[in-house]
Chain A
Amino acid sequence: MDRIPVLRMGSLLLITIQVDMHDKLALQLQDDVTQRISDWGSTGVLIDISSLEIVDSFIGRMLANIAAMSRVLGAETVVVGMQPAVAITLVELGMSLPGVRTALSVEAGMELLYGASFGLQSGSENERAEA
């Protein structure tokens, strides 16, 4: 496997990382994601890392980079399903990934992205205010 598939789902990009990341794979992914966003005009990127069990500072930075690059191209990034051990490792490495949005599950991540792109979230807040 020499690249991680980037799936298109409407206006979103769906990336599931199911293998141990190595540096070349990570760089390839950065290329692919930026290329796809500009090709398809995606407004959201969802990265599922629930099967990722080992991270190092490079992978952490890669996640932050993808988020930053996507934002430059006009897409929001959500990282979903991070394992507790991975989260602890990243914090101990001093990487809090500012600017990356996170969610517990793919479902929650989708909600976040659709809310962000279609204004559903603000709509529900209005309703709540009225109620």
Chain B
Amino acid sequence: MNDLAEIISRNESQIRDEWMRDMSNSVQRSDLISKTEIDEQCRTLLAAIVNGVRVSGTAETSGSGWNTARDYLQEISASRARQGFSPSEVATFVLSLKRPLFGAIRRDLAKNQDLLFETVWATTELLDSLALLTTDAFIAAREELISRQQQELLELSTPVVKLWDGILALPIIGTLDSARTQVVMENLLQTVVATNSKYAIIDITGVPTVDTLVAQHLLKTITAARLMGAECIISGVRPQIAQTIVHLGINLEDVITKAKLSDAFALALQRSGRTVVRQAGATTAGAPLLGSPLRKQEG
């Protein structure tokens, strides 16, 4: 195997030139990465391969002698995943090393056919496993990106807003799954305690579909809020969703539901002993209410 290391180091610059040329024919994305950067990456990777062969003496890339090469390749793949390369482009980066390397091996070992075949075979295996490694690293980097975005989405999408003293609103956008329900529930209950709110309006205008599971999650949240002494009102039930709920036989009889957020808000105001009055002298219906349009009735 050490022949391979020798061959590479002897023909290093020629191999690299041919490698660069092969890449530019197929996958060099000059829009995403600069030529000098690729050159640098080729140089480092070749050196790491030579080092791997020398230290471990085999083309088995799982050994500890290959750590440097593996780490470096993973790093390259991860950065390319972020830059927007496709997985095949990343794999081709390694695979396009085959032709220049085989050429160099043939030039050096032309006299010994058996050794030539053996070395070519070992090199093929080596490059294939390195290419697979890049794909694995690429997918891992993408997966990490996706899970981070999921987490961000989870945090972004569950705001609890205070509508009035003692009245909260929780607009839910997107489908409710178990993980999101957990976040929504915790957020809501924490805010109920922090603001000492007696009424919470859960607005499901942004929930595309309500099936039995979503309804169960909603009921759980409502029950938990009730246990703490807050009352929940569901609003934003669209006509189709009302039909679905009845067809599925979901029991929402113990829960107050309203079609619009404004209806729910009016109910919460009424229940907390407040009424909305239009100021005398206000001319247009849409005029902003000044002063104290809401007054709390003593009782």
Chain A residues in contact with chain B, CB under 8 A? Answer: 79-84, 86-88, 90-92, 96-97, 102-105, 108-109, 120, 123-125, 127-128, 131
Q: A84-B193, A88-B186 are in contact. Are A97 and B297 (CB under 8 A)?
A: no
Q: Are A88 and B185 in contact (CB under 8 A)?
A: yes
Q: Are B186 and A84 in contact (CB under 8 A)?
A: yes
Chain B residues in contact with chain A, CB under 8 A? Answer: 185-186, 189-190, 192-193, 196-198, 220, 223-230, 270, 273, 275, 297, 299
Q: Please measure, in the bound complex, the distance between the C-alpha atom of A92 and the C-alpha atom of B198, giving whole angstroms.
A: 22
Looking at the complex, which one of A90, A108, A127 makes contact with B227 (CB distance below 8 Å)?
A90
With A84-B190, A104-B228 known, 17 other A-B pairs at CB within 8 A are: A82-B228, A83-B228, A84-B189, A84-B193, A87-B224, A90-B224, A91-B220, A91-B224, A96-B226, A102-B226, A102-B228, A104-B193, A104-B198, A108-B229, A123-B299, A127-B299, A128-B297
Q: Are A88 and B229 in contact (CB under 8 A)?
A: no
Q: A84-B190, A124-B297 are in contact. Are A91 and B223 (CB under 8 A)?
A: yes
Chain B residue numbers with a CB within 8 Å of A87 are 189, 224-225, 227-228
Looking at the complex, which one of B198, B228, B275 makes contact with A84 (CB distance below 8 Å)?
B228
Q: Is the interface of A mostly helix, strand, loop or mixed?
A: helix
Q: Are B299 and A88 in contact (CB under 8 A)?
A: no
Q: Are A97 and B227 in contact (CB under 8 A)?
A: yes
Q: Are B275 and A104 in contact (CB under 8 A)?
A: no
- Closest Cβ of chain B to A55, distance in Å, is 10
